[in-house]
Amino acid sequence: MVNEQTKIPLKLLPAWRICRGSMSTQPTTATDPERTAHRNRGSEPEGRYRFPPGLDVNLLWYALRRFLPVDPIALFSHLGNTYGDIAHYKLAHRHIVYLNHPEYIREVLVVQHANFIKERVQQRSKILLGNGMITADGDTHWGQRRVAQPAFHRQRIATHAGEIVRRAVELREQWQPDSEVDIYREMMHYSLGVVGSAFFGRDLGEEVVALNSAVSDIMDVYHPLVLLPGIRTLLKIPFTPLRKAIRARDAIHAMADRLIDQHRLQDDNGDLLSMMLNAERQMQWSDEDLRGQVVTIFLAGYETMAIALTWTWYFLSQNPDVEARMHAEIQEALGDRVPVYEDLPRLQYTEMVLAESMRLYPPAWAMGREAVRDFALGEWSFPAGTTVLMSQYVMHRDPRYFDDPLKFVPERHTPEARAGRPRGTYLPFGMGPRQCIGESFAWMEGVLTLATLVQRFRVELVPGQRIEPQPLFTLRPKYGICMTLKSRG
């Protein structure tokens, strides 16, 4: 076990202004009688519905008073600490319920999944992503998933291992000992290249830089995009940051259109885009539908693993004992040769390091659903249209399931440790029928990439930086992370 604490500053809400009770950084327990009684009191029923306790003041009014969006991680942490397993508040006219217990999460994502669609933030994302697998619902989503599923079968995934390792070797040969790099930028460019070749049969080359810049431009306006009313009208106003995001979206769409057009002119090579093209007529997809699929797979496929790798490098720099053990495992399994797919069972500690990184900083840090019909969770009942929110970031740090949760401890992810936790306590790729279709590919990419790069390099954090997670569509490092590359000789 490692003793270093993970200390990342968060802008906490002045919660005493908007909530019943006082702000606490300690988890709610049955031995805290005042807050337990408060938590069990419940809200006054509205008609035939019964809502759990939560914020007294409408969250929209609070945000407007501050002229700033509410920090969602601080909000979710406060709700869990103050109200326990479930909490209620309102945003304008909309009912919001926040879930902080694995059984409630399982109930929504697995048991009652057919009653829920993607919530408002995901629906707003269609403006940029189109109606792809992340944003689509119902028959449209299941049709898209059915088409893509063969590309993520274990046998198909294994065929991409060589390309992943080839690109990792190429990257480590470009790295110069004792040079400083933004490891976040390095991992974004690297993962873009992997996704381009694995799923779309294309070496993106110099396009990688432009695409990464376009995605950053979109993320810069994430909060206005998902929160402002009348966003489609606002996006048409010239000379605003919002218009910059639209230009970035158009650049990504143009890339997707080029990939599609090039694929139409070549033979079927069995990659994911070929599968989509083969299914295009059967699924009655328009050109816009096909483009939405490509953009969604492209962005989700590279962004998630790039961020996971970035935070893993950060934790390796802060935990030298973990880094040394991981390097020893790699040396014992590989010697001087590069890894292959068959080495994955011998790189279990490397996988545990990646898993622990995604526990503390899950790239997908929150999930949301919207109820199609009235529903109940335990003793509480809610109307159709209620938004249900869950946070992997908060659940992964719950001391009920993870002792001393801020410590970086890869051993939390041994088979025995995983079996001892309830389902729904660790879910970096989601849960239920809509669990990430690319999870197996992501684990393979992450482990093979780390094994290849750690063979030759370790990293040291450049001092004096501000390291802060930024909860946008994914949990990016807000200011990047500069590292000094140290060769192993």
Q: Report in angstroms the alpha-carbon separations of 426 from 51, 76, 363.
A: 26, 17, 13
pLDDT at 122 over 80: no
Architecture of the domain defined by 15-487 = Orthogonal Bundle (1.10)
pTM over 0.95: no
Q: What was the pLDDT predicted at 354? A: 98
Burial 473-486 (b: 16+ CB within 10 A, else e): bbbbbeebbbbbbe
In what helix (H) or strand (E) does residue 87 lie, and over which residues does it extend?
A: strand 86-91
Residue range 460-488: mean pLDDT, rounded: 95
pLDDT at 237 over 60: yes
The angle formed by the CA atoms of residues 184, 190 and 196, to the nearest 5 degrees, is 135
Helices (H), 205-271: 207-219, 222-227, 231-234, 241-264
415-442 residue pLDDT tens: 999 999 999 999 999 999 989 888 999 9
CA distance 31 to 125: 43
Q: What was the pLDDT predicted at 64? A: 64
Q: What are the DSSP E strand ranges found in 355-443? A: 367-371, 375-377, 380-382, 387-390
471-481 residue pLDDT tens: 988 999 999 99
Q: What was the pLDDT predicted at 15? A: 34
Average confidence score pLDDT of the chain: 84
Q: What was the pLDDT predicted at 369? A: 94
In what helix (H) or strand (E) does residue 487 lie, and over which residues does it extend?
A: strand 482-487
Of 108-112, 128-132, 250-254, least confident by mean pLDDT is 128-132
Residue range 113-117: mean pLDDT, rounded: 94
CA distance 167 to 452: 10
Q: What SS3 state is found at 181?
A: strand
In what helix (H) or strand (E) does residue 450 lie, and over which residues does it extend?
A: helix 439-454
CB contact at 8 A, 133 and 297 = yes
Going from N- to C-terminal start, the domains of the chain cover: 15-487
Q: What was the pLDDT predicted at 17? A: 32
Q: How confident is the model at residue 123 (pLDDT cuts 50, 70, 90)?
A: low
pLDDT at 374 over 80: yes
391-405 residue pLDDT tens: 999 999 999 999 999
pLDDT at 483 over 80: yes
Highest mean pLDDT among 86-100, 138-152, 311-325: 311-325
For 460, phi then psi, to 5°, come to -125, 130
21-55 residue pLDDT tens: 333 333 333 334 334 434 444 454 567 899 999 99
Nearest alpha-carbon partner for 99 in 317, 394, 410, 479: 394
16-28 residue pLDDT tens: 233 333 333 333 3
Q: How confident is the model at residue 226 (pLDDT cuts 50, 70, 90)?
A: low
264 HSE (CA, 13 A, CB side): 9
151-193 residue pLDDT tens: 788 888 899 999 999 999 999 999 999 999 999 999 999 998 8
Q: What is the DSSP string of 297-344?
A: HHHHHHHHHHHHHHHHHHHHHH-HHHHHHHHHHHHHHHTTSPP-GGGG
Q: How confident is the model at residue 10 (pLDDT cuts 50, 70, 90)?
A: very low
The alpha carbon of residue 448 and the mean position of all alpha carbons in its chain are separated, in whole angstroms, by 20
